[in-house]
Amino acid sequence: MKRFLLPLLAALALPTAVNAFTVSQKYFSAHVMASSWCRINNGFATEEEGTIDLIKLLEKKRISIEIMRERDVKLVARTIHSTLNNKCFMDESKIPSGRSFESRMKGLLGN
């Protein structure tokens, strides 16, 4: 009985793997996602090309694709996407004044 009980207790007691992404990983991923959406929406890339580029960039930085499921990453990506112009560059006129845009976005990701 001990032979079965100890491994079962150990499996229940030990923590499982957790995807704990850093703020900078989330910010990078949100930026890449927003850029990918922009390129797709403006016809610079097909949806397939945009997705492949997104995955390659994340793999290059050794970030799991699972980060794209994070709600806060999607929120920041939408916010960044709203500041991009039709050439997919930041449009300074669309960024509200105050603290730096980057620090505000990282603040959203850090909470």
Q: Is residue 4 part of a domain?
A: no
Name the maximum alpha-carbon separation found in the chain.
70
Look at the chain and report how many structural domains it folds into: 1
User: CA 37, 40, 43, 49 torsion: positive or negative?
Assistant: positive
Q: Is residue 10 part of a domain?
A: no
- Domain coverage including residue 76: 22-110
Q: Is residue 17 part of a domain?
A: no
Question: pLDDT for 10-64, tens place per residue?
Answer: 655 655 555 578 888 888 899 899 999 999 999 999 999 988 998 998 999 998 8
Look over the chain and give the mean of its residue pLDDT values, rounded to a whole number: 80
Q: Is residue 97 part of a domain?
A: yes
17 φ, ψ (degrees, to nearest 5)? -65, 140
The pLDDT assigned to 104 comes to: 78
Model pTM score? 0.71
34 φ, ψ (degrees, to nearest 5)? -65, -40
Question: CB burial class (10 A; 0-12, 13-18, 19+) of residue 97?
Answer: exposed
Q: Is residue 88 part of a domain?
A: yes
The pLDDT assigned to 93 comes to: 76
Q: Is residue 2 part of a domain?
A: no
Question: CB burial class (10 A; 0-12, 13-18, 19+) of residue 10?
Answer: exposed
Q: Is residue 5 part of a domain?
A: no
Q: Is residue 41 part of a domain?
A: yes
Question: pLDDT for 73-105, tens place per residue?
Answer: 898 899 888 888 888 887 777 776 666 777 878
